[in-house]
Amino acid sequence: MHDFFAWIAETASWLLEYSRHHPEWAFAIALISAFGESFVGISFFVPGTTILVGLGVVIHATGINPIPIWLGAAFGAVTGDWISYWIGHRYKEHALAVWPISHYRDQMDRALAFFRRWGTWAIFIGRFMGPFRATVPIVAGISQMAFWPFQIANVTSAILWSASLLALGALGNAAFGPLGELWKAWFG
């Protein structure tokens, strides 16, 4: 299992390095990473948050336009949640019996309790909480949440979430980038 997670980390590192040298691909990398982070079936294996923060670093370091990357990340996140919601709405509790979701039943139960407590706000708040990001939308669908309240919370949270992760990377690079150069000069 350790090798699998090492492979994921290496892939994330490679994607960020690739986007630094080929910024024209940053939109697609952001879209796919945010989708993977938000889609219930694969979110357990995709380091989308790490990649989006890393893309923020790439944005700051290269000076590329952040708007397309931000829109790609937001669209990927909206789409991942929307499909997760649809699966839950369409297949109800049967969706919980499908691999890999079936292996995370305790997480799904926590997401259901979170959703029952917060309702529509769970969609919005859950976007910013790793364990709930991809699980709350499917339980919202299973719970037969109305489509438009779900989508409003989905879209608004995806816009803010993707912007905050990209900004975190860019601001972190702006603040700590010079320290890294100083470290290399002294100890490098």
**Cβ within 8 Å of residue 61, ≥6 positions away:** 20, 173, 177
**Residue 99 DSSP SS3:** coil
Q: Is residue 167 assigned to a domain? A: yes
Low-confidence ranges of the chain (pLDDT < 70): 1-5, 7-8, 177-188
Question: How buried is residue 156: exposed, middle or buried, by Cβ count under 10 Å (0-12/13-18/19+)?
Answer: middle
How is residue 93 written in tokens?
């509790």
| DSSP code at position 145 | -
Asked whether residue 186 is domain-assigned, the answer is no
CA distance 182 to 6: 29
Q: Give the pLDDT of residue 187.
A: 54
pLDDT of residue 179: 61
Provide the pLDDT for residue 152.
98
Residue 43 domain-assigned (yes or no): yes
- Counted domains in the chain: 1
Output the six-digit token pair for 75.
């669209």
Own/partner pairs for 101-108, CB < 8 Å, 24+ apart? 101/40, 101/41, 101/138, 104/44, 104/135, 107/131, 107/135, 108/135, 108/138, 108/139
**Residue 88: other Cβ atoms inside 10 A:** 27
* CB contact set of 181 (below 8 Å; sequence gap of 6+): none
Say if 188 falls within a structural domain: no
Domain range for residue 102?
A: 2-174
Which of the 8 DSSP states describes residue 39? S
SS3 state of residue 73: helix
Residue 92 domain flag = yes
Q: How much is the pLDDT for 2?
A: 58
Percent of the chain with pLDDT over 90: 54
In a domain, 10, yes or no: yes
Examine residue 40 and state whether it is found in any structural domain, yes or no.
Answer: yes
Residue 181 in any domain: the answer is no
